Amino acid sequence: MSWSFVDNISAVWENTKEPNFPNYTSGSMGPDAADKLLEKDGFFWWPITEIDVEKC
């Protein structure tokens, strides 16, 4: 029953393409829109270049 709700949302997303969707390349630091969102309030994302998952 709950999946039918999610399936409806997924179907709309698949069939409705937003031309200004801030997509980004896998492995990148994310979309420029995310940086701009934080910058307007004086914040920024902390850069992460390598994560040692063994230490986490």
Q: Which residues of the chain have pLDDT under 50?
A: none
How many CA atoms are closer than 13 Å to the CA of 53, on its beta-carbon side?
0
Q: What residue spans define the domains of the chain?
A: 1-56
Chain centroid to CA 50: 19
Q: Amino acid identity, residue 21? A: F
pTM of the entire structure? 0.49
Predicted pLDDT of residue 7: 93
Contact of 53 with 45, CB cutoff 8 Å: no
